[in-house]
Amino acid sequence: MESKILLGPVVLALVLAVFPMATAQPPGCYASGTHTFEFTDAQVTLETIDGRIDDIGLSGPTVVEATFVGDTDSDGLEELETEIVSMKLSGVSDVFGPVTLTESSTLASTGKVEQQFAATCFPADSHFDVFIQVEQPFPAHNDIAFRMEAVLDAIPPTGAGYRLAPSAPTIVPIFAGLMHPPPPAVDVHIGNITHAMHVPITERPVFSIAPGVAGTDPADLLMIVDVGRYAVVAPKELLGLQAGDDIDALSHGTDPIPDTRFSVRDGSLGLAGTAVREEATKAPAQALGDEFVARGGDNRLFMNEGIFGFFPGVHELDALAMDGIRGPEALFPIHFSLAAGSPTLAAIGAGPADILVSQGNGLPPIVDRAAAAMGLVAGDDIDALCFYPGVTRFSLAPGSPSLAAIPASAADVLQQGAPPFVALTDAGMGLDPGDDVDALKCGVPAAGGGGVTPPPSGVPTLSEWGLIILLGGLMGIGVIAVRRKG
């Protein structure tokens, strides 16, 4: 009888690029450069030859090299040739145990980015033809590259996910060994990849979580220290807070991003067809622990709860800010609000709609911007915040009196005023009026308070490569691909 070989999942590696954007195109949409992507997160479905199916997630660093080549096919569209030059992804398979996947040592995973329209840098089509090797628990490869595709339409391309190309075969065969064996030996087929996607992570946010999670204090500031693991970066004592406090809104004062990202309270559904709706209707509901990015009447998943280290349906993202990657010394001063009933509010004579500031010296926070100065009234509760010098954007918790007076919903992003006004509607973020935005990160408002400041003009440089990686798993033998470089 033929022996059965289990194969773990393999993860496809892809890349996203972040390009500074120019309003007029020729020349200069794209530039050559190398970017090291510290975090990548992927999911792959692998089906073994004996009929077993395993979904595996892997994470780890990847380096992508991009070369500007102009318009090689003379179609009037700029192109960027890309290659994954280094990648190491690790994870644990329920079937195969620890898994390590790397870029092929002998074959190149190359790709391309190309404008869709000559008049604008984005949207742009991107693809990679991927070859990988499984290093543990045993060697494996794929003989034919699998193509992963994505449409890049943002700076950075947050929320864009590389997936198996629709034009590609629906299954990707996986074979034992690190490369195709020399004749007369033949490859041993051990399984197939039937689904793969990956979303890049370009930052380590600082955040807090809602009360109710054992071992975690809702007044501590947390940070992702590795994909799927968080730790306390600033305990409540450092912020001058006390037991029973709950940080429910957070901002560094300027979030250096060109878009609006958010999380929603448990029970929020989002509009049909959005990422919030997809995550909220899973069992258990997962939207409460996810970070989303607004996309002009729609939203996309930016970081799922697994990246934060959350358990689905258990952890609720309660406040969100940039950027922990710079370390604790860069956290302060930091602005936040406390939920109604937090003991520190009574101690310092503040309310849940006042914006507080801490210098991280252990002293009690002080009121930096009073509710009345923002046009808010008694009973209002800020539960999401983007704080800038001179401009404050926020969302209010359900039941806040100002919502009825404006009128607005708990899913609208408001801006200070007399009274406050809606700066970004719930529908503009792909949300329903009955939803509740409970965490925010925002781009810097342009002059006049609307929109976000565009990236600097001039010839852009490649600032970030997000790559979407594949992961590989295996069980009796491994899988992944090889293609000769050069």
pLDDT tens, N- to C-terminus, the chain (486 residues): 333 333 333 333 333 333 333 333 334 678 788 877 777 777 777 788 888 887 777 777 888 888 999 999 999 999 999 999 998 888 777 777 788 888 888 889 999 999 999 888 888 899 999 998 888 777 888 888 889 888 876 545 555 677 888 776 678 888 888 777 777 777 888 888 887 777 666 667 889 999 999 899 999 999 887 667 889 999 999 999 999 999 999 998 765 555 788 999 999 999 999 999 999 999 999 999 998 888 889 988 877 788 788 998 999 999 998 765 455 557 888 999 999 999 999 999 999 999 999 999 999 999 999 999 999 999 999 999 998 777 889 999 999 999 999 999 999 999 999 889 999 999 999 999 999 999 998 754 433 333 332 323 332 322 233 333 333 333 333 333 333 444
**Alpha-carbon distance 259 to 353, whole Å?**
24
CB 355 within 8 A of CB 382: yes
**Alpha-carbon distance 292 to 336, whole Å?**
20
Q: Which amino acid, residue 137?
A: P
Burial of 184 (0-12, 13-18, 19+ CB in 10 A): exposed
**Alpha-carbon distance 453 to 209, whole Å?**
30
The DSSP 8-state label assigned to residue 364 in this structure reads P
For the range 447-452, what are the long-range contacts, defined as Cβ-Cβ under 8 Å and sequence gap of 24 or more? 449/391, 449/415, 449/423, 450/423, 452/258, 452/259, 452/260
**Alpha-carbon distance 206 to 328, whole Å?**
10
CB 72 within 8 A of CB 79: yes
On the question of a cis peptide bond just before residue 156, with omega within 30 degrees of 0, the verdict is yes
Q: Which amino acid, residue 389?
A: P
Q: What pLDDT score was predicted for residue 271?
A: 97
Burial of 1 (0-12, 13-18, 19+ CB in 10 A): exposed
Q: Encode 426-460: b = buried (16+ Cβ within 10 Å), e = exposed.
A: bebbbbbeebbbbbbbbbebeeeeeeeeebeeeeb
Q: Give whole-number Cα distances, 294 to 299, 316, 392, 471, in Å.
A: 4, 19, 18, 28
CB atoms within 10 A of CB 244: 16
The DSSP 8-state label assigned to residue 391 in this structure reads E
CB atoms within 10 A of CB 196: 28
On the question of a cis peptide bond just before residue 184, with omega within 30 degrees of 0, the verdict is yes
Q: What pLDDT score was predicted for residue 83?
A: 93
Burial of 484 (0-12, 13-18, 19+ CB in 10 A): exposed
Q: What pLDDT score was predicted for residue 109?
A: 94
Backbone angles phi, psi at 429, to 5 degrees: -105, 10
